[in-house]
Every structure is written in C-alpha cells, then in structure tokens.
Structure 1
Amino acid sequence: MNISFQPKLFSTLRNYSKEQFYADLMAGVIVGIVALPLAIAFGIASGVTPEKGLFTAIIAGFIISFFGGSKVQIGGPTGAFIVIVYGIVQQFGVAGLAIATMIAGVMLVLMGIFRLGTVIKFIPYPVVVGFTSGIALTIFATQIKDLFGLHIDKVPGDFIGKWITYSHHFDSINFWALGVGIISIVIIAITPRFSKKIPGSLIAIVLMTLIVYFLKNKFGITGIETIGDRFTIDPSLPRPAAPKIDFAAIQTLLPTAFTIAMLGAIESLLSATVADGVIGDKHHSNTELIAQGIANIVSPIFGGIPATGAIARTMTNINNGGRTPVAGIIHAVVLALILLFLGGLTKHIPMSCLAGVLVIVAYNMSEWRTFKGLLKNTKSEILVLITTFSLTVIFDLTIAIEIGLLMAAVLFIRRISETSSISIFKEKVHEADFIEGSTDTEKLTLPKGVEVYEIEGPFFFGVANKFEETMKTIGDRPKVQIIRMRKVPFMDSTGAHNLQSLIKSAQKDKIHVLLSGVNENVHAVLIKNNIEKLLGSENICSNINAALMRADEIVKNNKI
C-alpha cells in the first residue's frame, strides 16, 4: 500500500526565496502574537493550566507546519475542543486527557494512511454546523462565571446544571470584573474597523491588563481576579513525560478519542480547504491528517492538549503574507520565546478579559446566520441539524457526533433509495438509446410469456428489499423474467444476495431469469457471488435486444 505522505514544507523549499522568507517571517511573528491570548484562554477554558495551551500551540503548531499537507495551515488548540477537553479532565483527569489525545493521534495517522482524507469532507454540512453551533453555545455558558466575576466554588459540567448554578449566584456579581469583560468584548468587536493587522484580542488583553494592574496598585481594587490568582505559571519549556497507558484505559477512552479524532480531522480539513480557496493551492488531505495525528501523539508527552488546524489563525497567516509552512514554524518559535521571556507577565491578565475573548470566539463559531439559513432546508436536514445541536448542548459532543453521523447516513440511504425505481413492462419496452447509436427509442414488443423488470439506480441494501417486494406483487407468473440493469451503476452484497434468492425462487417455479445491460462493475459482483454460474453466462445479455432474442428462443423451445 502506497502511503500518501507529501509534506508541503519540502516542496515549497525547493524554490524558496529571500523575499518569501521575509513575508513568512512577518506573518509568523504576527500569528504568534495573535495565538498567545487564544492559547492561554483555550487552556484555561479547557480545565487545564494556561501554559498547557501554550505548550500545545508551540509543539503541535510546529509539527503541523513541518509535516502538514497545507502550505499555510496554522495548528494549535482551538475553541472546538474546549467542551470535550473540559469534560475529559473532569471525568478522567489530565492523565486521561493525555491518553485520549494520543489514541486520537493514532486514529488520525491511520485515517491518513488509509486515504480517508477525502471521505471526511463528505460529512453532511448540517452535522458540522449543528455541533459547531452547539459547541459555541456551550463555550459561552462556560464563561459566565468569569465574565460576571461570580463567586462559585465548582461549576457543574453539564449545560443545564451550569445555568441553574449561575441563577443561584447572580447576587454575587463583581461589577469591576463585568466592566473589564464588557470593555474587552467592545474592543475586540470594534478593532477590525481601524486595524486589520493587530488583533482585537491582543489589544484588549494588553490594555485591560495594564488598567487592572493600575487599579490594584494605585486604588487598592483587588476584587478583579487574574490568571495569577488562580494558577501558578511556569515560564519554561516542558519536559517530556509519557503517560502510563494500559488496555483498560484505552478501552474506557476509545469513544472519547474517536470524537477528538473526528473533530480534529473535520476542522483541520475544513480550514485547509478554506485556505486553498484564498491562495489558489490544493492541500494534501491525507498528509494533513498524518501531520495532525503526529502532533496529537507528541503534544501530550510535553503536557499539551488536543490540537487541530485553526481557521482564524490560518486566515491571519494568509492575510499577512504567509505562503509556506515556514510561517507556521516561525509562529511556534515566537510563542516559545514569549513563554520563556515574557511568560511571567501573563499572571496579570484578568480572567474576565479572557472570558470576553472567548465570548467573541463563541460568537464567531456560532455561525448563527448559517444555522438560520439551514432551517429553510428539507425536514430531514433540519432534523439532523437540530438533533446534533441539541445533543451537543444538553449531553456531550461524543454522543452528538455519533448520532448526528448515524442520522445523516440513514437519511442519505433513504434519499438514495427514493431515487432508485423499479418498472415493470408486460407488452412493450423501450429500446436502449445506445443500441441503435441514435436518440430514437423504439418500442420493442415482448414475446408472450416474457416480462421485463427495469431497475434504475444503485442496487444496494436500501433498494434490494424494495425490488423483492415488487416481484412478490406480480399476479400471473411469466415464463421468462428479464431483469434490465442498464441503469444500475453498482451493486452491493445485499443486492447480490437478494438477486440470488430471487433467481433460486424463480427457478423453483420454473421461471427462467435473464439479466440485461449489466455493466463491468456489476458483472464482477455477479461473478464473485456465483450468480453468473447460477444463471449461466448465456443468460447475461449485453442489451435488451439480445435478451429478447434469448427469451424468444426459450419460449419457442419451451426450455423452462
């Protein structure tokens, strides 16, 4: 088996120029600065320490750029993982999170090796929007405590439990913290109007950190909680320490790891596809999955959390001139330098300011306009959207993805089944256009005792039963049944089994079965399932004319 692994870094370096390096350097520095507050915020919101978010952005970000299949993809922790990571930490601890992330990494590598990159792209859009919007609402709910400065010892993990707890503690609002959070949100919202280069989140964090520091030291206002009040930050690079993995842990964490892997695959490939449209390139989806897998295997060893391609940071990279993976590598180096030399300053960042940053992240993730637009689609798509959204919010992402994908698959099979039809002809049948080499469709008269059953569409497990039921409704039994398959593109094992059962049943009733217009793919299935042997090769005809001649011969010779 040929493994599709073609990192973009090595192909882009062949014709690399000094001018492109300067562009990548500038983009990498800017993206590194943009990633700083987000990595810290995602780390805290995920239930781990701030530096773990930075470790992920540094280690995973470097690996994704070095091995990735996209020229401009920026990897690291993302908002999509907050909900699931928080749940894992609460239930299994940081060690459980590390194991789940590594298992997910192995799954991603296997997805890339088995060339599933293109398959992931076909996950229905309502499923993606449903759980993305659900994650956004859940992220918003997790930030209420810090945004309002509420005095709550422990916030429940479930969505409804959170709001019940909040309602009991709203009398403890810290208006200083709320003011910092609201001003942070306003700054982030209005920044794009006057600055396209410097991100609003960075401006808000720098400005509000200075203001809160000034209020604490000059006016003695100490009620505004900062990162340093809750966490002890170690401003040094992590040391590798692999978690202890046993079979019991793998068995327990496998479903959660699958969710991490699916979410990582979907988000990274969506990000890479969006980037392709902007820069006019085409990423290697399987290479990208392998790179994401390696990143998620290595990241936990250095204290990191799950990582994937980040759309916002990838677009920032593109908008600032990044066109090769060198920019992503520089972004990781910049973050490492900030951690080493300025990491101690992060303890002064107000928690309510970070909550404001994540409220904006949640709003951007919500895709409420898209969600609203999808509500105008078919009832089945609306059902998938609402179900996936509701399960994400009320239960968890693992259940939402599994049931959302299952529903989408069932509805897809139903839709395909509806496009397949079975027609019965007892007196005349249309001649195939391609037989005569023209667009004329003459009607051919059927010999007495001959009937034609035409299948149109795929003959798979969703249609096979329909065909069997149609055959059972026939009144008088003909002497010859011609099953016309010119419009059957493929047949699966269930279709083959039902066809085989039907032929055996017909032969018991002394009815001769002929097949007409079988293409190469379907013919191969017939051979594998011994149907050709059961019928006889002379009874599998290339077109309807040949089948009718054979039927006429059987009727005249009474070879039943």
Structure 2
Amino acid sequence: MSERPTFMPARLINLFTPKLLVCLKEGYDLPRGRGDLIAGLTVAIVALPLAMALGIASGVTPDRGLFTAIVAGFLISFLGGSRFQIGGPTGAFVVVVYNIVQQHGYDGLVLATLMAGVMLLLFGLARFGVVIKYIPYPLVTGFTSGIAVIIFSSQVKDFLGLRMESVPAEFFEKWVAYGEHIGTTHGPTLAVAAGTLAVILVLRRFRPGWPGFLIGVTGASVLVWALGMPVETIGSRFGGIPSTLPSPQFPALSWGKVTALLQPAFTIAFLAGIESLLSAMVADGMTGRRHKSNCELLAQGIANIASVLFGGIPATGAIARTATSIKSGAQTPVAGMLHAVFILLFMLLFAPLASWIPLPSLAAVLMVVAWNMSEAPHFIHLMSAPRSDRAVLLVTFVLTVMVDLTVAIEVGMVLASILFMRRMAEVTEIGTGIHLIDEDAEDGGDDHVGAIPTTPIPDGVEVFQISGPFFFGVATRLSEVFEQTHKPPRVFILRMRLVPVIDASGIQALTEFVRRCRKHGTEVLLSGVQPQPMQVMGRMGLCHEIGEDNFVPNIDAALTTARTLAVHP
C-alpha cells in the first residue's frame, strides 16, 4: 500500500518556519531569557526617540513612528526568519513615505503599504529571497547615500530654526531657500539642536554603550522645560502623543488609486526586502548564524500590512538596532518582541511627557541617522572600483538626490544589468583552436580527457573554442566566426567544455550557425558539452538539429570524427 502524500513537504514547512519556533524547540532557559530582556530594553531605549524622529521626517506625526515600532517590530521578530532581527521604521523609507503622503495623503500611504505587503508575501512564497541578495552593492550604496543626503537636507530648517513658511521639495531649490533665509536662524533652537548633537557625538566617542539618542533628547527636553526656552516641541506642533494604540482601519479602495500607487508600492516592497535581508546578513556575520530569507520576506509582508492598519508607516529590519540588540546580549527573537513591548509600555506610561520633546533635538538625531546611512567610507572606497561599478554608484546617487528614488532604483538596476552583461561578454571568448590550445598548455589546470589534442588538426578542419557563459550578450559574436574563414572548411569543431551555461539566445545563435555552415557544406561538431548546455539543447531541439553523432566527448574524439568526415564526405 502506497504511503499517503503529505499536503506540504517537510522541506517547505521548514523553509517558512519562524526562527522563534526553532529557538524554542532548542530550549529556552533563564540565561537566554535574561539576555533577551536586557537586549530588548536596551534597543527600546534606542528606538524610542528614533521612531518619533523618523515619523516626523516621513511627513506624518511622531506617534505613527511609535505605532510602527510596536506593531511591526513585534511581528517581524515573532514571524521572521532571523534570530536577531529588530524591525521598525527606518531612514530608507523617509523619502518614499514623505512623497506619498504629500501627493496622496496618509490614506494613500496605507494603500501603498498594503500593496507592498502583499508583494512581499508573494516574493517570499515565490522564494525570491535569494534573488534579492544579488542586488549590486554599488546600487544599494548609491541610493542609501542619496537618501542620507535628502534626510540631512530636510532637517536643516528645524535644526537652525529658520523662519520659512514652506520648504521647496526640489534639492537645489531647497538649499537656495535655506541660503535666502539663513539670516532668520533662531538662536535658542540652534543651541538646543547643537547641544543635542554634541551630547550624542561625545557619548558615541567615549561611552558607546550608553543610549546617546535618548540621553540627548531627554536632556534637551528637561532644559527646554526648566528654562522655558522658546523652541518648537512635539506638543506645540502635533499636540502630544496618544497613550494607546489606535483601532485598525482600512483605507478606501479604488482602481484609480491602486494603479497610481503601484510604483510607490513596489519601491516600498523593494526597500523593505533589501533592507531586511541586509540587516539579517549583518546579524549572521556577527553571530555565525544563518537566517531564512524567504521566511523573513513573509514576516516583512505581514508586519507592513499590520503596521499601517494600526496607524503606522512602512517598516523593515533596522541594521543599527539589530546590531545593538546583538551587542546587548540578545539570544533569540524574543529580544525583538520585548523591544516592541517596552516601547508600548513607555508610550502608555510617559506619553504626556513626550509633548516636551523639542523638535530641534529630533532634527539632531536625524542628522546623525543621515550620517550613519551615508556610508561615506564605503562610498569613497567604491570610487576606486571598476568604472562600471562607479557608474552605477554615481548614477543611482545623483538620481536619488535630484530626481526620484523609484527612478534611481529602476535606472540603476537597468544600468547594472547592462554593464554586467557587457562584462560577461568581455570574459567570454570565441577563439581559434590553435590559440586556445596554447593557452590550455600554459595553464595546465584542466583535467578533462583530451583537453589538449594529441593529434594534429587535419586540413579542412577548423577548431574554435567558446570560453565562458554563452548568453545573449555574446551570442551574436558566433556569426563572426564563419566570416573569419577565407574558405568554408569541411568540418567545424566548437569546443564547449568551458561553457558552464547557455540561454535561449545562445541556442538560437548556435542553430543559425549550424544551418549556415550546412548551406556551405560544412559539418559542425560540438565537443565536451557540459550538462546544463546539453539539457537546454535537448529541450529546445538543437540536439536533433545537429544530430546526436555530432556531439563528441572531447577534442581527440572530435578530431578523429572530423578526419573521417573530411576524407569521406
């Protein structure tokens, strides 16, 4: 009697099993609990002022940043594929969220984030987690650095206390307006901002384990309250912070809104996927563990959906907060869950005090965030990379700052793909057999049978070798091979032992090459074809086109067959 098939293979279940369950199965004892408790409290203290600052920078109220840290932060750790991931609002979303809110309002942001959450769920179920890891590093650095410049620029008004009715959206116009209003700098505002910045930087230098953001903001709040300093606060601009989470609300849906927000939604999903997996990889590097990328994408999708339903904004894995959690002794995802619980407790207990937080101090926090995001050392280091990488870096950076983040990502990806194909085309060679035989003799590293022919090449036989991936970037070069011969030979031998992969364009080029040769009475032999190209050739009918007898295992067998064909056509 046959065994009844299971609904879902065990491997698939394991693929999407949250790391929390894995850790609990290993056993959860007091030392682990103590480490998670300390780490959760430490990260909550760091995240509290940061969440409010990121909410303001995103064009919404500070409480929405807190809602995000609580709801999304809990779910990302509860359902995620990393043991140490800390989720919440991050600087990567500031530009995108701000633009959506300005154009479509908060309801538009909710709809875009819901769509992004669904996309992330689909990415995870389709197992795109590994694919996202292949986004070029120069592209990631380019748009991250660009976002950092935009965040820094957006905080100048609050940092200096400039008397401006509105701040232009465009980068150059914004700085021109700052220059025109520099004379309106407000002394007390600048003093609070500069003092907060100084405290954060000094503590980072001499007491890196202390919560510099919280100490700086708390100190500024006490100073403003005690001295009655005339600076803008959360209370004066936003009316304070609520002490409870809002009830879930669904946005109004319409096809027109969905289509208008499709591109921003994809940008949110792209950033959430990239940032979360980068954070998980950083955590892996610090701990020697391995995360589940597709499970992480599922968690990000669910967390983003829940975040905006409860009044939040988009969320993802936060690299700095994740690293802080690890350094503070985190052992399992419980640390991330506790960090969200602690933020909720802080909001419930101390919401009235948040009204005294001066906005200049949060501007100082965001300027530090912008510097951290800029990755200036990495940016400078990449300027010594090959020209193609520099081009991707600079184009993505300039478009992010000057045009739009979505355009920057799209153009950067297309440019990186084109330059990658060009690079692959340059390393793929189609050369004469004699030339490449000499190269083989020099490198001496090939253990294939007949790598170097033991018999001379007979008259009427041409040998060419293709080295490298045979894809559409190099397929057209094969047609030049036939034109290089003064007289069509009796037999063409194509050595393919150094071709690891082939695509449809390569198959089409080979098919046309074989047909063209046969029109001139030339037979084509393929030598040393590897498994992947052979499989694709068989599936696409090229094996039948060429004939099974024309596939030979090595160059010696090819020359033996060619000699027979040349003598007996």
- TM-score, structure 1 length as denominator? 0.95
Match of 1:121 among 104, 111, 133: 133
Match of 1:299 among 303, 307, 323: 307
* SS class of match (2:465): strand
Contact 1:237–1:340 (CA<8 Å) still a contact in 2? no
Looking at structure 2, the residues matched to 422 and 408 of structure 1 have their Cα atoms a distance apart, in angstroms, of: 24
1:482-536 alpha-carbon deviations (Å, 9 max, x no partner) = 1111111011000001111111111222211111111121111111121111111
* SS class of match (1:444): coil
Unpaired stretches in structure 1, ≥5 consecutive residues: none
Match of 1:423 among 418, 425, 431: 431
* 1:472 shift after superposition: 2.4
Match of 2:541 among 530, 543, 546: 530
Q: Which position in structure 2 is the counterpart of 1:453?
A: 464
Match of 2:88 among 55, 76, 92: 76
Query: What is the letter of the counterpart of residue 281 of structure 2?
Result: T
Question: Which 10-residue stretch deviates more, 505-514 or 307-316?
Answer: 505-514
Q: Which position in structure 1 is the counterpart of 2:189?
A: 177
Matched, 1:231 2:238: yes
Where does 1:301-340 land on structure 2 (aligned, <5 Å)?
301-340=309-348
Looking at structure 2, the residues matched to 458 and 344 of structure 1 have their Cα atoms a distance apart, in angstroms, of: 64
Contact 2:437–2:452 (CA<8 Å) still a contact in 1? no
* 1:357 shift after superposition: 0.5
Query: What is the letter of the counterpart of residue 105 of structure 2?
Result: G
Q: Which position in structure 1 is the counterpart of 2:362?
A: 354
Q: Which position in structure 2 is the counterpart of 1:46?
A: 58
Q: Which position in structure 2 is the counterpart of 1:8?
A: 19
Contact 1:427–1:445 (CA<8 Å) still a contact in 2? no
1:272-309 alpha-carbon deviations (Å, 9 max, x no partner) = 11111222211111111111111112111111111011
Matched, 1:207 2:219: yes
Looking at structure 1, the residues matched to 191 and 117 of structure 2 have their Cα atoms a distance apart, in angstroms, of: 41
Would the alpha carbon gap of residues 442 and 513 (structure 1) be closer, same or farther in structure 2, given more than 3 Å must change? closer
* SS class of match (2:476): helix
Would the alpha carbon gap of residues 511 and 205 (structure 1) be closer, same or farther in structure 2, given more than 3 Å must change? same
Looking at structure 1, the residues matched to 295 and 33 of structure 2 have their Cα atoms a distance apart, in angstroms, of: 23
Q: Which position in structure 1 is the counterpart of 2:385?
A: 377
Question: Which 10-residue stretch deviates more, 67-76 or 195-204?
Answer: 195-204
* 1:196 shift after superposition: 3.7
Q: Which position in structure 2 is the counterpart of 1:547?
A: 558
Looking at structure 1, the residues matched to 160 and 144 of structure 2 have their Cα atoms a distance apart, in angstroms, of: 25
Contact 1:428–1:445 (CA<8 Å) still a contact in 2? no
Query: What is the letter of the counterpart of residue 53 of structure 2?
Result: A
Match of 1:20 among 21, 24, 32: 32
Query: What is the letter of the counterpart of residue 234 of structure 2?
Result: I
Looking at structure 1, the residues matched to 46 and 435 of structure 2 have their Cα atoms a distance apart, in angstroms, of: 74
Would the alpha carbon gap of residues 438 and 539 (structure 1) be closer, same or farther in structure 2, given more than 3 Å must change? closer
Q: Which position in structure 2 is the counterpart of 1:274?
A: 282
1:194-251 alpha-carbon deviations (Å, 9 max, x no partner) = 43443111001111001101122xxxx43x1111111123222111001123332222
Query: What is the letter of the counterpart of residue 372 of structure 1?
Result: I
Contact 1:427–1:451 (CA<8 Å) still a contact in 2? no
1:5-33 alpha-carbon deviations (Å, 9 max, x no partner) = 12110111121001211221121112112
Unpaired stretches in structure 2, ≥5 consecutive residues: 1-7
**Between the two proteins, what is the percent identity of the paired residues?**
48
1:457-480 alpha-carbon deviations (Å, 9 max, x no partner) = 111101101122233232211111
Contact 2:449–2:554 (CA<8 Å) still a contact in 1? no
Matched, 1:57 2:69: yes
Contact 2:146–2:398 (CA<8 Å) still a contact in 1? yes
* SS class of match (1:95): helix
Number of residue pairs matched by the alignment: 553
* SS class of match (2:477): helix
* 1:407 shift after superposition: 1.1
* 1:429 shift after superposition: 5.5
Looking at structure 2, the residues matched to 164 and 49 of structure 1 have their Cα atoms a distance apart, in angstroms, of: 27
**For the aligned residues, what is the CA RMSD?**
2.0
Q: Which position in structure 1 is the counterpart of 2:105?
A: 93
Contact 1:292–1:307 (CA<8 Å) still a contact in 2? yes
Looking at structure 1, the residues matched to 275 and 120 of structure 2 have their Cα atoms a distance apart, in angstroms, of: 12
